[in-house]
Structure 1
């Protein structure tokens, strides 16, 4: 198997759940992952490995449980998938203010009826669209003020983890740098 650059998205980091980035980078490197990078203290990493997605996820899950007591979902997205996530953004006009656009990586395809039910909560310019197991939420008045955003996690009814567009762009930059170094 050839090298794959993986963007690692840890669900639920922040508040009471911490995942210290320097020790995380060190432990991932010790486990044989290459070109390890982390981005801000909210559950984002980039690694390079020739292992399969499930083997990488299992190894990272085991490290996190053993070293940090972290036992929440971990979503892996390859660099190629991340590039598609960026390219397929249905709200390109919203990328200038990246904190108002979020991409949620979904663990499964949601039911159309659940997405439709979420749209009921959108107000005044807010939008949600699902493209290839990514939900894009545009909340121009602020994610924290949005009923759509507040209802999203339970309403989408599939495992997920979301990042604002500024983080999406930065993780893409880190992943491309890892690919060049690999």
Structure 2
């Protein structure tokens, strides 16, 4: 079985998309995902399945839409893909709570940086299926808009590192 890390978009953020993590865990178990473990209330779940990542995403998106009554974006990554994101982080020397990985559906095109608006002190770099953003001290008041990331979901490096760590523990090994 393959271990997967699912990251849900717009769950329990700003009062929208409320989903208790115990309900997410139950939904995943009902989909026959094994060893389901959620991490914090922002929609992160680790599990194992015999299905492909695409099949898991499709099943989970359908189940979530039925449950919450609207589409919920799901991004599935393997532990190896998460490790690649971590190892290629261009901002490793910066505070992990200031560095964000924005998960997107495909490799970002190099011209997406020309569409960015409101950039001030933030630094942006492209990854394989993600965008790195280093925010400065004014992260909460940032006006940064990355149109290519509109349908993505972001996690800070602390969360990404924790998900990687959890995926390296039993029973996911």
Q: Does 1:181 align with 2:171?
A: yes
Residue 158 (structure 1) shift:
6.4
Equivalence for 1:109: 107
* Aligned equivalents of 2:61, 2:16: Cα separation in 1: 18
* Number of residues of Structure 1 aligned to a counterpart in Structure 2: 170
For residue 56 of structure 1, what is the aligned residue in structure 2?
A: 56
Q: Does 1:47 align with 2:47?
A: yes
1:70 positional shift: 4.5
Using structure 2 for the length normalisation, give the TM-score. 0.89
CA RMSD of aligned residues (A): 1.8
Relative to structure 1, the CA distance from residue 147 to residue 71 in structure 2 (aligned partners, 3 Å threshold; closer, same or farther) is same
Whether 2:115 is the aligned partner of 1:123: answer: no
Higher helix share: 1
Q: Distance in 2 between matches of 1:160 and 1:29?
A: 25
Greater relative contact order: 1 or 2 (C-alpha under 8 angstroms, separation 6 or more)?
A: 1
Q: Deviation per CA, 1:106-146, whole angstroms, max 9, x where unpaired? A: 2123332221342x64334x200002121000002243222
Structure-2 change in CA distance of 1:157 and 1:38 (3 Å): closer
Cα distance in structure 1, aligned partners of 2:63 and 2:149: 28
Structure 2 gap ranges (5+): none
Name 2:137's counterpart in structure 1: 141
